[in-house]
Amino acid sequence: MKEFKQSQLLKSLPKQFFASLVEKVGKSAAEGHDIINLGQGNPDQPTPDHIVAKLKEASENPLNHKYSPFRGNSYLKEAAAAFYKREYGVELDPEKEVAVLFGGKAGLVEIPVCILDPGDTLLVPDPGYPDYWSGAAMARAHMAAMPLKEENGFLPDFSEIPESTAKEAKLMFLNYPNNPTGAVADLDFFEETVRFAEKNDICVVHDFAYGAIGFDGEKPVSFLQAEGAKDVGIEIYTLSKTYNMAGWRVGFAVGNSDVIESINLLQDHLYVSLFGAVQEAAASALLDSQECVEQMVEMYESRRDAFVQGLKGIGWDAAVPKGSFFAWLKVPEGYTSEEFSDLLLTEAKVAVAPGIGFGKWGEGYVRAGLLTSEERLKEAAERIKKVGLFIKKD
C-alpha cells in the first residue's frame, strides 16, 4: 500500500499529553482494578430531561432534516442574546455579535486562524487548556506564556509581560472560572484586561466554559460585563458544562462584530451549521427554567466540600476552588506532577491529571475533577491516605 505522509501542519500539532493518561487508566482498569478516575473533565450527569425531550420533539420535524442556515438559525442566536441579557445584563446584536459554534473547543481552535498570520504572537495562560496550543499551531503563530501563580490568585500579571511582547501580541486567551486551577476573576481584573488590550491593540478571547459554576454564593463574572470589552474581544460560551451537554457539541461566541464575522466566514467554508434539532434543544436550554443549573452548582459545591475536607483530613493542605469543577492540588515535595500522578494511580488506584500537561507553570500540581459522587470522592481521599505521603497535623 502506498504511504501518504502527513502535512507539515499536522506534524506541528502539539502531542496529546492526556492520551497517555487515558492509556494508563485504561490499562489499569483492564487489569481488573477499580479506578476512581478524577483525571478527566467529562461531566458525569445526564442532560436535563426537558432538553432531551425538546431534541426528541424537534428531531421529528422534517424541516430539521434539511441543511440548516450556514450561520445557524436566528432563534438560537436570539436565545444566546437573551441569555446574556438575563444572566449578565449584556446587550448583544444576535446577527452581528453571536456566532454559533460546534462546541466551545471548535471556537477556541478556530479563532487564531481567524485573527493571526504565521509568526504572529499569541498570549496564552500557563497553566491553561491545551487546545489553546492547538489553535496556535494551526495558525503557525508564536505563543508567549502568561504565568498563573498562586500568589496572584492564578491571574496573569500584565505588568510582568515584557513591553516588546505585549506590542507584538495580537491575541490573548483567558479562562475564568479557570481550568485547571479553579480560580475566578472579578470585574476589576476584566476592566484591567480591557485597558491592557486597548493599549497594545490585542484581541481578547475569554473562554467562559465554566461560567455557570461559581461557589459560596458568588456568580462568575462575564468578560463582556467590563466596560469596553466588546471593543477589544469576544467570549466563548459552551453548553457542555452548564447543561451537561458535552456530547451535543453546541456553543457560541459573542462580542466584537468583526471577530464574529471572521469566525462565521471561516465556518462558512468548514460546516453547514448544527443539526436543527440540536439548535432547538439548545435554545430551550438557554431560555427555559434554570433550576437544573442551580441544582448542578449545588451538587458540585457539595462534592467540592466533601473532597477538600477529606483531603485536609488526611493531611493534604488542599486549596478550596472558587469555581469550575476542578481542584488544583500541590504535589508533595520530592515528586514531579507526573511521578505523583503515576504513584496515585499505581498505589491508590486514583487517577488525577499531572499539572505539567497544562504547561510549564503547572508543574508542582495535579488536577482532580469533581466528576463522581461524594462517596467516591471521600473514598479517593481514604485511598490516598493509605499511600502514606501525608501526615495529619493536630
Domain CATH code at residue 104: 3.40.640.10
Average pLDDT over residues 339-367: 95
The CA R_g of the chain, rounded to the nearest whole Å, is 21
In a domain, 86, yes or no: yes
Cα–Cα–Cα angle for 110, 115, 116, nearest 5°?
A: 100
- Percentage of residues in the chain having pLDDT higher than 90: 88
Residues 231 and 201 in one domain: yes
Bond preceding residue 147 cis, omega within 30 of 0? no
Residues 43 and 53 in one domain: no
DSSP string of 222-288, one letter each residue: PGGGSTTHHHHEEEEEEHHHHTT-GGG--EEEEE-HHHHHHHHHHHHHH-----HHHHHHHHHHHHS
pLDDT band per the 50, 70, 90 thresholds, residue 129:
very high
Average pLDDT over residues 361-374: 96
Instruction: Round to whole Å and give the CA distance between 19 and 23.
Output: 6
Dihedrals φ, ψ of 194, to 5°? -60, -45
pLDDT band per the 50, 70, 90 thresholds, residue 32:
confident
Sequence-separated (6 or more) residues with CB below 8 Å from residue 209: 104, 175, 179, 236, 237, 238, 240, 241
pLDDT higher than 70, residue 201: yes
- Host domain of residue 365: 8-47+292-387
In a domain, 393, yes or no: no
Q: Can you say how many angstroms the Cα of residue 170 is from the centroid of all Cα atoms in its chain?
A: 21
pLDDT higher than 70, residue 393: no
Residues 223 and 238 in one domain: yes
Q: What is the pTM of this model?
A: 0.95
Mean pLDDT, rounded, of the chain: 95
Per-residue pLDDT, 394: 58
CB 325 within 8 A of CB 369: yes
In a domain, 104, yes or no: yes
Among candidate residues 258, 287, 316, the one where a domain is terminated: 287
How many domains would you assign to the chain? Answer: 2
Residues 328 and 258 in one domain: no
Q: Which is higher by pLDDT, 31 or 98?
A: 98
pLDDT in tens, 251-279: 999 999 999 999 999 999 999 999 999 99
Average pLDDT over residues 340-347: 94
pLDDT band per the 50, 70, 90 thresholds, residue 23:
confident
Residues 63 and 197 in one domain: yes
State which amino acid sits at residue 146. M
Cα–Cα distances in Å, from 45 out to 49, 243, 280, 287? 11, 9, 21, 20
Per-residue pLDDT, 28: 86
Please report, for the domain that includes residue 342, its CATH number: 3.90.1150.10
